[in-house]
Structure formats: structure tokens, C-alpha cells
Amino acid sequence: MSSSFPFPIVKNVKFKYNFDGWCFAMINERLAEIYFDKKKGKSVIWAHCYVKLNEFNKKEQKEIMADIKKYKFSYRNKKYKRIQLQ
């Protein structure tokens, strides 16, 4: 049985790093998903990935728009800095 997928499919994979949460935010004026941990009452961002708004359906887009109104960051030299919203 041959598969067109070049890599074997692996199930029940456990990640080496567990994060506390994720949300959408604007990072460097681009839409992104951010992944964060909560340590000592503070949220620490440890990763992000850029996404396109048109990849989501209308309901998800409404939720994304609510998130990005609250969260805006800049990312430079491997550091995140929160931008104050007005």
C-alpha cells in the first residue's frame, strides 16, 4: 500500500513543551497567533506564528477581531514588547 504522503503518520505525539494558552494578536502590524505561559502572575510569550485572516470562517474572524483590539506587540531581537493601546 503506497501513500502519496512522503512521511509516516505519527499518532499520539506529545509535545516537549506545554504552554498555558494562546490567542491572536497584532505583532509588527501583522496578524499572529501567540503562545504564552503564565509565570508568577505574568504572561510570558514564548512563540508566535503569522496567519492570514482569510484562512478562518466568519465566526472565527469576529473572535479574532475582538482579540486583536486587546493585544498588540512588537517583536525585535527575540524580545516581545507590548504596545499600549489608546
Given this model, what pLDDT does residue 19 score?
64
Q: Over the stretch 10-49, which tens digit does the pLDDT of each residue have? A: 455 455 556 678 899 999 999 999 988 887 878 888 889 9
pTM over 0.75: no
- Residue 70 in contact with residue 83, Cβ under 8 Å? no
Residues with Cβ within 8 Å of 34's Cβ and at least 6 positions away in sequence, in order, are: 22, 23, 24, 25, 27, 45, 47, 48, 71, 73
Helices (H) and strands (E) in the chain, counts: 1, 5
Q: What is the mean pLDDT of residues 53-69?
A: 93
